[in-house]
Amino acid sequence: MPSATIKIFLVHGDAKRLRTAEISNWTGKAIAGPRSEFDSMLGRDEAQNSGVYFLTGSDPESGKNAVYVGEAESIRDRLKSHLEKDFWNHVVFFISKDENLTKAHIRYLEGRLIEQAKQAGRAIVKNGQNSGAKLPESDREDMEIFLEKIHQLMPVLGADFLVPPPSSISAAPQEVLVCEIKGHKATGSLSSNGFIVFKGSHASLEQRPSAHKYPWVVNLRQRLLEEKVLVPENDVLVFTQDTEFPSPSSAATVIHGGTANGLTAWKNKSGKTLKELESV
């Protein structure tokens, strides 16, 4: 993804309230805000335009992150119809400042965004079915560039559900770290969102007494088991996919089956701890 200069405008001076986002030399624009700012967002001129939008929040049944992706020739009119949905607490919509997005364009964007959100797997996609539209080759390439800009802006606006799942493929050899307990080994690497444990890594089958002092440890391991991210195999638990954690310690805790300091639990092939590596 190319480098970019992003301009964020805080309408009320508060980063959690209504804000706009633009990228230099791009005709698109994003408007974002919490549900409590709904009327203010719809009152903006941009809301009259065609575009794509995202409603984000939590799924009431599972408690997981959830997103609804939509398109509209009038953002304002379409968003009003979503007030009956209670899962969402934040909205982001994208329009073109030159008003050059046709119905076919936004349907194409919606279809691609639903597909990408499902592939990323970071949130439950609330759409009942995929959308999409066929475009001439030149228009399709223009919309792929528009998609790229959406991907650049969404994390800046606090939403990472389009970020591709972590992968060990991009990790260089010198970045690979090892965490061992009772002869079982896990490998992983630092990532922009925390720490990735690689597919095939082993974790302790048994939980240590320290795990029960902190319910989140037990809950996290149980969730990973329910989602088949961790599966029992002989006397260990095995990671079935590359898995991202918010920190090296949370990753090490799952692997150890109890509380652990990730800065000392993770070591490189020379035996240096992550703490030592970061102090260089």
What is the pTM (predicted TM-score) of this model? 0.74
pLDDT at position 207: 87
pLDDT at position 171: 46
Low-confidence ranges of the chain (pLDDT < 50): 168-169, 171-173
Sign of the alpha-carbon dihedral angle for 212, 217, 219, 221: negative
- From first CA to last CA, the distance across the chain in angstroms is 30
Tell me the pairing of strands 65-72 and 6-10: unpaired
Residue for token digits 């970061």? 278
C-alpha distances in Å from residue 203, one per residue of 103, 127, 193: 50, 35, 21
- What does the alpha-carbon distance between residue 34 and residue 46 come to, in Å, rounded to a whole number? 17
pLDDT at position 210: 80
pLDDT at position 280: 61
Contact 90, 158 (CB under 8 A): yes
Residue partners of 274: CB distance under 8 A and separation at least 6: 177, 190, 248, 262, 263, 264, 265, 266, 267
